[in-house]
Amino acid sequence: MRRPISANTPVRGPATARAQGFYAGQHVPGTPPEFPDAANLTPHADGLKDWTQDDFVRAIREGKRPDGRELNRFMPWPVMKQMSDTELAAIWTYLRTLPPVADKKKS
Ligand code: HEM
């Protein structure tokens, strides 16, 4: 059975995800090469280092980065925006526990 597509979700648990640098932006498994890479969500300068929780919630609810640029529609924020404030706060809190990791393409 094929795994469901997961851009940022660990497939073998958080410890493995951290060790392998998941969440640091990478090609979304199972998608064509021309599809955009998922974003670096770690607290690295290549990722969300300067973002606040409000920035994060706005990105998920409105599909916009702090500078106002729209996210590529491949990031499924129109569905994810249905998450509650509590759920988004929980995800943000988790993302802030990740070690900062540079983008793979740049390292
Ligand atoms: C809980 C799960 C997810 C969270 C918290 C999340 C969060 C984010 C955030 C905050 C950004 C903007 C980062 C930035 O601009 O620096 C982003 C971008 C992106 N996400 Fe997600 N995402 C999730 C799941 C997904 C999934 C399932 C996909 C695709 C199947 C995806 C694909 C993308 C792509 C391609 C971008 C880059 C968009 C662009 O460059 O315009 N994400 N994500």
Distance CA 97, CA 88 (A): 15
Q: What is the pLDDT of residues 92-103, one digit of tens each?
A: 999 999 999 998
Beta bridge partners of 70: 64
pLDDT tens figures, 18-52: 555 678 888 888 999 999 999 999 999 999 999 99
- Asked if the model's pLDDT at residue 8 lies above 60, the reply is no
Regarding the beta carbon of 45 and ligand 1, being less than 6 Å apart is answered no
Q: Which two tokens stand for residue 32?
A: 């064509």
What pLDDT is stored for residue 80 in this prediction?
A: 97
Find the 60 Cα to ligand 1 centroid distance in Å: 9
Residue 22 Cβ contacting ligand 1 at under 6 Å? no
DSSP string, the chain: -PPPP-SS--SS-HHHHHHTTTTB--PPTTS-TTSPPPPB-SSSTTTTTT--HHHHHHHHHH-B-TTSPBPPTTS-HHHHTTS-HHHHHHHHHHHTTSPP---TTT-
**What's the whole-number mean pLDDT along residues 81-98?**
97
50-60 pLDDT, tens digit each:
999 999 999 99
The pLDDT of residue 11 is above 60: no
CA gap 99, 107 in Å, rounded: 15
User: Which ligand 1 atom minimizes the distance to the CA of 59?
Assistant: 10
What is the pLDDT, as a whole number, of residue 15?
A: 56
- For residue 17, the CA-to-ligand 1 centroid distance in Å is 16
| Ligand 1 contact, 65 CB (< 6 A) | yes
